[in-house]
Amino acid sequence: MKNKILVTIILLLSLGAFAQKKITWKDLSKVKFVDKYFPGYDQSFLYPNFSQSIKSLEGKKVTITGYFLNIDPKGKLYILSKGPMSACFFCGIGGPETAIELEFLSKPVFKTDDIITVTGVLKLNSEDVDHFNYILTKSEGTLVD
């Protein structure tokens, strides 16, 4: 009987290790930005200093809900935003911590401002100014009803 209980506990713990973690926009706001000069562009950009709680999520499978934005006419750049297109950070509301670059496993069928839930592997980016600070790789999304 003790062996069955022990095996059950081990199985439950191991399942939790492989499950995705639900995160919120508040979680992603735990970052501070400083200006940093990037010689390749001859200008300064906001450089993120991620909190330890954010760093602990890097490389992990996470799930978050937000607004889908397709801002690239060629359909190669997809974003999940805390707010709709009219209130996204490049419209002056919020900062870079309110958007995530999405790298989908297959071409998404969502429309701009659809509310979706996305699951993917979180990548933190502080050096490549051609990409967002938060990137979800291997992303899959579902429309929120």
pLDDT in tens, 61-95: 999 999 999 988 787 899 999 999 887 766 667 78
The per-residue pLDDT for 39 is 93
Question: Burial, 77: exposed, middle or buried (Cβ in 10 Å; 0-12, 13-18, 19+)?
Answer: middle
Q: How far is CA 48 from CA 39, 42, 45, 63, 124, in A?
A: 17, 18, 10, 21, 9
Q: Please report, for the chain, the start and end positions of each structural domain, with discontinuous segments joined by +.
A: 20-143
**Across 1-19, average pLDDT:** 47
Class of domain 20-143: mainly beta
> Is it the case that residue 15 has pLDDT exceeding 50?
no
Q: What is the pLDDT of residue 2?
A: 55
57 pLDDT exceeds 90? Answer: yes
